[in-house]
Amino acid sequence: MEQQVKRIGVLTSGGDAPGMNAAIRAVVRSAVGRGIGCVGIRRGWNGLIGSDFVPMDTSSVSHIIEKGGTLLYTARSEEFRTIAGQDKALATCKLLGLDAIVAIGGDGTFRGALDLSRRAAETGYHLQVAGIPATIDNDIGCSHYTIGFDTACNTAIECIDKLRDTMQSHERCSVVEVMGRHAGYLALSVGISVGATAVLIPERKLEFERDIVEKIRRARLAGTTHYMVVVAEGAGNAMEISHQIHEAVGIDPRVTVLGHIQRGGSPSAKDRETASQMGYRAVRAIAENFGNCVIATQEGRLAVLNMEDALKMTKEFGMERYQILEALTNNWGGI
């Protein structure tokens, strides 16, 4: 017999991403539209442990779709990894009468949600969970696209376009580090979009002569006097790479680490719409008792995946996109 869903909680966890507020808005309004109560859990799993919550309705999520960050705040929780921490979180769920939780974040957020649901089942408490993928790195295995990626790309592109103006004026090389500790999706997308001379990603082992020096030389022979090297943070240290370039070809690069600026800003149309669709589908899945799921994008369409299966999935990095970059820069030096 299906359980009637009366109240759900929504939280954001892990690194923030533009579009999280749009997802929260969609969850709250979709729930209220179905006659389901909604509670916002602040500061991720830490908030569930510490009973940091706020009742939410349609008016509480007005005028947030265009805002970056997350109005529910976010955090990582070591305590929640423990059984004791999960029991505290579960006690809050029981106190609030939560039938389900929508967790917005990455793989770690989803694993935490699944652990909590399993712990609830062990104690005889039925708690559904649904995950919405949100990370600027776009590195969640089960989903081809994650909320925040498009906005982060656009932010980095805007910054690099401005850097190019001064770089061109002084005939310099610029080494720009973007986020991506374990994945090069952001760096490669940005690199192609700005016409970078070279792009370094974790998925491709760095050969300094081939990947940087030779490309700068070809660019110079083609008449280019300014160069752009985009580095994913997981592919190497931007400052060290700058020193190596100076030693190899004698030019004096300037290093820019974009850092957390990539996480901020008003979300793009793509991130707003994707977040809205995912929030709606998450509530629908819970209302239909298809709990313990992830709302993912597969081949450009939304799919409701079993969370346990989703966490086992991986996605292959599309190296053909790197080949596109190579074709457009090898003989012309980018730009």
Catalytic site residues? 137
> SS3 for 321?
helix
In Å, what is the CA distance from 175 to each residue of 16, 198, 206, 239, 265? 25, 9, 15, 8, 23
> SS3 for 18?
coil
Where are the strands (E) in the chain, listed by range?
7-12, 37-41, 53-56, 100-105, 128-133, 173-178, 198-200, 227-232, 254-257, 293-298, 301-306
Q: In 3D, which of 190, 80, 66, 175 has the Cα closest to residue 138?
A: 190
Q: In 3D, which of 2, 25, 54 has the Cα closest to residue 285?
A: 2
Give the whole-angstrom CA distance, residue 230 versus residue 228: 6
Q: In 3D, which of 290, 23, 32, 122 has the Cα closest to residue 8?
A: 32
CA atoms within 13 A on the CB side of 15: 25
Q: Is 28 left (phi over 0), alpha (psi -120 to 50) or beta?
A: alpha
Give the whole-angstrom CA distance, residue 240 versus residue 154: 26
Where are the strands (E) in 62-218, listed by range?
100-105, 128-133, 173-178, 198-200
Query: Is residue 25 within 8 Å of residue 116, measured between CB atoms?
Result: no
Q: How many CB atoms lie under 10 A from the CB of residue 222?
A: 12
